[in-house]
Amino acid sequence: MTRRWCAAAVLLAACGGGAAGAGKVRPASTASVTVQNFMRAVADSNLDAMAALWGTTRGPAGQVKQPSDYERRIAVMQAYLSSDDYRIVSDQQDGPPTRHAVQVQIRRQACTWDVPFSVIQLADGTWLVNQVDLTAAGNPAKPCNPSDTTAQDTSSASAP
């Protein structure tokens, strides 16, 4: 009987740990850190965190529930951006000071892709991922061909 209680306690603790990790995610105070947090959420398959870090000037998609199909878009982004590793290549102002273009290099198997992110600053000074050019991320359903790192799909994700 004690063994069952121990097993139940371990199971409950494991479930509780996941819920604690899914707490409120706040956009960061720099564009690069927001993209790093977004890519960490991609790696963790944490769609709620991705939705808290992607959106428009109205706010994070997970909070404002816009666009209406934001959950599907987040899932598509997660599929395309999942990688063995990533690194931020550049972070540059793109027009007004409230917009940055962040280049992220992702690696899947022996292939690498440079994926452009558009990141916007909100009125409170925090940043959100606004657009991701998924056409530059390669097709995750096709085997990696190191001699061809061009996009083979025309999907993209942006918050309207």
Give this prediction's pTM: 0.78
What is the end-to-end Cα distance of the chain in Å, rounded?
Answer: 56
Block means of pLDDT (10 residues each) for the chain, 160 residues, are 36 32 71 97 98 97 97 98 97 97 95 97 96 95 71 43
Give pLDDT, residue 81.
98
**pLDDT tens-digit profile of 17-30?**
333 334 567 779 99
Q: CA 103, 106, 107: angle at the middle one, nearest 5?
A: 155
CATH topology of domain 27-142: Nuclear Transport Factor 2; Chain: A, (3.10.450)
Give pLDDT, residue 144.
82
Question: What is the domain partition of the chain in residue ranges?
Answer: 27-142
- Of 72, 89, 93, 81, nearest in space to 137 by CA: 81
Q: Is 38 helix (H, G, I), strand (E, B) or coil?
A: helix
User: In the numeric block, which tokens belong to residue 79?
Assistant: 């599929």
User: By 3-state DSSP, what share of the chain in percent is helix, strand and coil, each rounded to 5?
Assistant: 40, 25, 35
Give pLDDT, residue 23.
52
- As to burial, measured by CB atoms within 10 angstroms (0-12 exposed, 13-18 middle, 19+ buried), residue 107 is middle
Task: Write down the residue that tokens 């598509």 correspond to.
Answer: 76
